[in-house]
Amino acid sequence: MLISRAPVRISFFGGGTDYPEYFIQHGGAVLATAIDKYSYVTATPFPSHLFDYLIRVSYRKVELVKTVDELEHDVYQQCLKFCGLEKDIELHNVADLPAFTGLGSSSAFTVSLLQALHSFKGEFVKPLDLAYEAIYVERYLVKDHVGCQDQLMAAMGGFNLVEFRTEEDIIVTRIPLSSQRLAEFESHIFIVFTGIKRKASQVVAKQLKRVADNTDILKKMRKMVDQGWDILTTNQSLSAFGELLHQAWIAKRSLDTIISNPEIDNLYKLGRESGAWGGKLLGAGAGGFMLFFAPPESHENLKQTFTHHEVLSVKINAPGSQIIFS
């Protein structure tokens, strides 16, 4: 048996500019960090000659099939085909967090699965190449409406500025922060679950139709990536980072009416009133986790405000996809 894992992520700035529909013409970038919540895949040799099926996979359900094409789970199906595996393998997936919550869990699963399949075959794939493979699988084989940041963060890990030039030319730059600055930054993060799950590709599909109309807003959001980098690397007060997040949320919210709703707006308002400098809904919008950026002394007040909501504690700068047992 071998076990792979890949992290989910928090995206601070630039989300929406990581779609080829936008960045191929205008260039895109995100400022994001991998966090210590993972999608795990186990891969085990399966003696199919002893059974009446050739492949066993599990996730929320179990599938026992005689051919890869019989698999209902499209990511399992396409990744197995992509890696040339058609029988004699058993795969299981578990995760630290549920899907459809704005943290890039779908791509973390795809990356973790590809990592496991390559390792099962005795192959080593560089992290960046693993990310490119995951982008190809999700966008062109599964045909999902996804961007390109989640796969990069899952494969590479770390706290990064990621620049998107083309789908084959993506630059990942680590943010050069001391351990003290990283710890200070991390202490300001406060994450609340809205209680709303949604499929990101369905939210994004509508937004992608409005890329031309939203170009000026997306360009502004791209510039915020560089502003965030400057705040972090020049030791400016982190209150400036929080205020920039507030501006980013206002910009993101204006992209489409589907991104927010009265319930989400009220949660954000409560967070600001409880001491947060700024924040944003993580992921494509319409639900999932909400990030607040607040001084540590305000966190107890935030906990009281959101006493009926799940609060997620995380560590940032998590490592990328890896084999943790073999």
Find the mean pLDDT for residues 286-295.
91
Other C-beta atoms lying within 10 Å of the C-beta of residue 308: 6
CATH of 2-176+317-325, one of 3.50.50.60, 3.30.230.10, 2.40.30.110, 3.65.10.10: 3.30.230.10
CATH of domain 179-312: 3.30.70.890
Contact 188, 240 (CB under 8 A): no
Tell whether the model's pLDDT for residue 210 goes beyond 80.
Answer: no
Return the structure tokens found at 213: 């109309």
Tell whether the model's pLDDT for residue 77 goes beyond 70.
Answer: yes
Contact 295, 270 (CB under 8 A): no
On the CB side of 82, how many CA atoms lie within 13 Å of its CA?
25
Task: Indicate the domain borders of the chain.
Answer: 2-176+317-325, 179-312
Tell whether the model's pLDDT for residue 104 goes beyond 80.
Answer: yes
Amino acid at site 39: S
CA–CA separation, 122 vs 323, rounded Å?
Answer: 12
Give me the pLDDT at residue 205, please.
Answer: 60
Return the structure tokens found at 226: 């560089």
What secondary structure letter does DSSP report for 211? Answer: T
Tell whether the model's pLDDT for residue 198 goes beyond 60.
Answer: no
Tell whether the model's pLDDT for residue 244 goes beyond 80.
Answer: yes
Give me the pLDDT at residue 235, please.
Answer: 85
Tell whether the model's pLDDT for residue 7 goes beyond 80.
Answer: yes
Other C-beta atoms lying within 10 Å of the C-beta of residue 8: 30
Other C-beta atoms lying within 10 Å of the C-beta of residue 257: 10
CA–CA separation, 36 vs 48, rounded Å?
Answer: 36
Tell whether the model's pLDDT for residue 196 goes beyond 90.
Answer: no
Mean pLDDT, rounded, of the chain: 94
CA–CA separation, 7 vs 9, rounded Å?
Answer: 7
CA–CA separation, 288 vs 266, rounded Å?
Answer: 15
List the single range of 83-87, 169-173, 203-207 with lowest mean pLDDT: 203-207
Amino acid at site 146: V
Give me the pLDDT at residue 202, please.
Answer: 57
Q: What angle do CA 198, 292, 213 make, to 5 degrees?
A: 55
Amino acid at site 247: Q
Split at pLDDT 50, 70, 90, the class of 203 is low
Three-class DSSP category at 192: strand
**Tens-place pLDDT, residues 26-51:** 999 999 999 999 999 999 999 999 99
